[in-house]
Structure 1
Amino acid sequence: MLGHTTRSLFHVREYAMSSIINAVHTAVSGLNAQSHAFTDLSNNIANSQTTGYKASTTSFEDYVTNNELANDGESLSDSVAATTRQHTDNQGMVTTSTNSTALAISGNGFFNVVQATGQSNDSTPVLGTQQYYTRNGDFSQDKNGYLVNTSGYYLEGYNVDATSGTLGTSLSAIQVPSTIAFRPTESTKLTATGTLDSSSSKTVDMSTTAYDSTGAASTVDLSWTKLSDTTWAVKDVNDTTGTSNSATVTFDSSGAVSSVTSQDSTGASSTSSSSFNYTGSPQDMTVSLSGVTLGSANTVSMTSDSVTTGTFSGISMETDGSVMATFDNGYSQLVAKIPLTTFADPNSLSAQNGQAYTATSQSGSPQINAVNTNGAGTLTTGSIEESTTDLTGDLSKLIVAQQAYGANTKVVSTADQLLQTTLAMIQ
């Protein structure tokens, strides 16, 4: 009889210990899950003032393991796990910044950025090849003229070639050094001034330098030929046909221009009181002849309305992604264009330090878009995108997580007491 009782107590102890240990295992998984939640919440709270930060949430899921309490082949959940869920597609509030070169995105796009991997001998950064993406648009110029955000990432875009003046087609770090040269503005008007010798039959030449939209220079040569005492012909020296960009100029009795009958490169004729249309290379322009008079000497000359000099004074950002160099002559010129990159699933991007991300197979391939196209979003200048942390909500969740953590510790404490009681049963 005593042996039967001992065996019964042994089975009770084994079953009880198994149940208690299972309870401890469940409670420990709960402690780990709530610790994970603490980490996510504390990270959100710590970054509540971080520009471009995207708050994350914690997702809980139950696990079904080999549970001896299950009956009839059924399984019971006896564990929990926690995972961090990113919300990089959440829009943060756009607020005004004191930084005039700051940019905020309203939409789905990301800035293309790279990191420096070192410095060269002249202290210029050596940029890495790893492509990063960020919503932290708090950019400022560093000592080398690069646009760098507060996390140390270098902004990339399409740079304007300093020689040709054309916009590039591949991404590179945007640099606007203080030594940047002013590109002459596009010529729209040529102005002839001076006198023509009314008594001379000699052909008189005049020329000037004209600039196209990229700042490239071309020489425009015009010549005057006397037709009569009050009529002269002016034409483009480079036109071999003698019909393009030519005009007949009539002077009045005082020697001033009274009318201009012209023919452009298309063969179209027109009459004006003092000018004619120059068409062709480098571009279409107006040639004003009102400053030419008949006199006793040939002193005619020609100038263009292009502005050719200027000193760099800073940069400005435009809402279409244009980065403009500004000069002390009041002009600004395009030096780079900022695109935005989108992803099929931005929440699957891999988070990196400094509010930056890298692409993954789950996020999909990066799609580079112009600003305000294909859902990439718009840009607000002189502004930043605030953190998406809901401080009040996360503090409330922190209290709930604390209570859940305490409840799980109570389970462990109670299980320990039960285990000690069970072990004492047969002693």
Structure 2
Amino acid sequence: MGIFDALTTSVAGLQAQSYALQNISGNIANSQTTAFKRTDTSFEDLVASSSQSASRQTAGSVIAMSRSTNSLQGPVSSSSVSTHMAISGAGYFKVQAKTGESDGNAVLSGVDVYTRRGDYALNKEGYLVNGAGYYLSGYQLDSSTGNPVGDTASVIKVSTGMLAAKETAKVTYEANLPSNPSVGTLKTADFQVNPTNLPAAGAKLTADSTYTPIDTSAGGSLSFAVTYDDGSGAAATTTTINLDSSVDTDSSGKVSLTEAVAAINAQLATAGVTGVTASSTSGKLVLSGAAANAQSSLKVDTIATTGTGPATSDLGFNVAGQTANGRGVGQNYVAAKDNDTFQKESINGGSTTAYAADGTALSVQLRWARVSESPDTWNLFYKSDTSAVGSTPMWTNSGQSFVFTSGGKLDTTQTPASAITLNNMTLNGTNLGNISFDYSAGLTQFSTSQGTASISDIKQDGRAAGTLVSLGVSADGRVSATYSNGEQIDIASVPLYTFKGESDLKKLDGGAFAATKESGDSVESTQGKITGQALEGSNTDIADEFSKMIVTQQAYAANSKVITTADSMMQSVLSIIR
């Protein structure tokens, strides 16, 4: 029986060594496969059940099993492709396989598998697909905030269409104004209109002409809306004012200025708009906001006229929709005819490009004028109309006095500490609405050698429309898109996943792995690091594989020698019978 056992064991040995050779062959074949993880071979002895004592046990047979090297890092090298990614340390990309197409679009399996193969490229549908055909998953990011959209990773799809234009809403500014300006202090007498005439704080709308009593004898009436923004960040409040026969308290058939004021205040109070009051001055209608708030604003809009229909001018305002900010209406501008004087008596404040809602680029040119030395006070102007002529406004005052202490810091008791609003900012006829001018990064007044403004930073948050130019991957695994308008936007974040039983993952075609009961479920992890424009190579060591091949060949030959010897012994037994 021993000879037969020896033959069986030798055959098992040949099979085990053949299995090892198969793994070696596969490792060598994939020595240049991206992120390939070689498979080593482990041998396990098999001992037949026996009641014999230990001194009579045989060596037993053998079985070969695969041993994964998933946790062994492959070499990382740079790549010329911007969407390639390499993982350093622990972790896998989450991917899905393509199962077919529908109407020319990919149909994915919906089953998550995992890989370290990072040779991703953008396909025609906007997916990131690696060289083995697996589709990368990650978190889509909000283009405005950069925060993930949702809390579940899904297959990343990059929009290859136009990046929509974004209207400018904020200008960020950081600068130092000279305490020794080269132009000295602006002389208001040199200008047609005093460009520094800043009314006191508190929104105030004063009619441009004398109020015309509204004739209600034939059923005429006027409805208009008052909108008040208290500057606190809360929503603006709007109430509709009706001036008709119901407020004609003296039954004269007309709504007098006194009656109009009383009716407006009564209706404002009823509507809960406590920050606005109506009054009269020299026969004109006046609406005033909270005097203490330099950021408050007022707006009046005509809604409807009926009956004999008084004209809009009967309110005394020449312009429907007139708005006043917390500094009042004022006439704070530099006329075109005074531009040369203004250039001589102010300093350059820098420039940037703002964008309208349709992506139209608009130049924002800023200038600073020192209007007082005690205390040190400056006014900011922007060029609102480059083609203005004569008495037409060319430069518009921001409406805010910037007051500095003797130490060169903003006096926040007289100037907002971090930002102001440029109300209804209009550039060459294009209205951008209310623009936040944010100088929270720093606005100071210190002496300079040239007596000019030192602009550290000036930028805005709008953009023109653009087309996709390229994709890239940052060090933290963020996929960013670069557009033809120069914008670079993070569009997706690529997470990495680990397993408690990494060695028990099931190998799939194309360097992918499937979770098993033994490996456990995937867990999102930050143990590994993604490097963009790089690839992880195979962890196969050719020299080591050749060494193992020699040992395997020798073991195989030895097992075949056992079979030859056993055959010879069998021949000897048969010879005894003859």
2:575 to 406, 424, 427: 424
Match of 2:170 in 1: 188
Distance 2:35 2:114 in 1: 11
Correspondences of 1:266-415 after superposition (within 5 Å): 269-271=413-415, 277-278=419-420, 287=422, 302=432, 305=460, 306-369=462-525, 373=526, 375=527, 377-415=528-566
Matching residue's letter, 2:101: Q
Amino acid at match of 2:26: N
Larger radius of gyration: 2
CA deviation map 1:31-66 (0-9, x unaligned): 011011001111110100000101121111111115
1:203-232 alpha-carbon deviations (Å, 9 max, x no partner):
8xxxxxxxxxxxxxx99x9xxx999xxxxx
Measured after TM superposition, the shift of residue 178 of structure 1 is: 1.8
- Determine what percentage of the aligned residue pairs are the same residue: 34
Cα gap change, 1:419 to 1:151, in 2 (>3 Å): same
Q: 1:43 to 1:183 in 2, by over 3 A?
A: farther
* SS at structure 1 position matched to 2:33: coil
Alignment match, 1:6: none
Tell me the amino acid that sits aligned with residue 422 of structure 2. V
SS of the counterpart of 2:510? coil
> Which residue identity lines up with residue 287 of structure 1 in the other structure?
L
Q: Match of 1:81, as an amino acid?
A: I
SS at 1:158 equivalent? strand
- Give, as a single letter, the amino acid of the residue that structure 1 aligns with 2:326: S
TM-aligned CA deviation for residue 362 of structure 1: 1.4
User: 1:182 touches 1:311 (CA, 8 Å); kept in 2?
Assistant: no
Matches within 5 A, 1:145-224: 145-160=126-141, 167-168=148-149, 169-182=151-164, 184=166, 187-189=169-171, 201-202=206-207
Residue equivalent to 2:457: none
8 Å contact 1:261–1:276 — kept in the other structure? no
Distance (Å, rounded) in 2 between the aligned partners of 1:360 and 1:302: 58
Match of 2:214 in 1: none
Instruction: Please state how far the C-alpha of 1:183 moved relative to its aligned partner.
Output: 5.8
d(CA) in 1 for partners of 2:62, 2:31: 28
CA pair 342-416 structure 1, distance change in 2 beyond 3 A: same
- What's the RMSD between the two structures over aligned residues? 3.9
Q: Counterparts of 1:253 and 1:81 in 2: how far apart (Å)?
A: 93
SS at match of 1:401: helix
Report the Cα distance in structure 2 between the residues aligned to 1:39 and 1:253, rounded to whole angstroms: 86
Indicate whether 1:31 and 2:14 are aligned.
yes
For residues 78 and 185 of structure 1, the distance between their equivalents in structure 2, rounded to whole angstroms, comes to 80
One-letter amino acid of the structure 2 residue matched with residue 65 of structure 1: A
| Cα contact 1:190–1:287 (8 A) shared by 2 | no
- Structure 1: any 5+ residue segments left out of the alignment? 1-17, 204-217, 228-232, 239-243, 263-267, 279-285, 293-298
Q: What displacement does 1:131 show?
A: 0.9
Amino acid at match of 1:89: S
In 2 relative to 1, CA 33–74 (structure 1 residues): closer, same or farther, beyond 3 Å?
same
Alignment partner of 1:95 out of 65, 77, 92: 77
Deviations 1:238-292 (A, max 9, x none): 8xxxxx9834698899778744259xxxxx75428xx9824xxxxxxx5399999
Structure 2, unpaired ranges of 5+: 174-192, 198-204, 209-234, 239-285, 289-293, 300-323, 336-341, 343-368, 372-378, 380-399, 403-411, 436-459
Report the secondary structure of 2:471's partner residue: strand
Aligned length: 352
- CA gap of 1:182–1:426, structure 2 versus 1, over 3 A, is same
The structure-2 alpha-carbon separation of the partners of 1:38 and 1:288, relative to structure 1 and needing over 3 Å to count, comes to same
- The TM-score normalised by the length of structure 1 is 0.72
- The CA deviation at 1:360 is 1.2
The letter of the residue matching 1:402 is Q
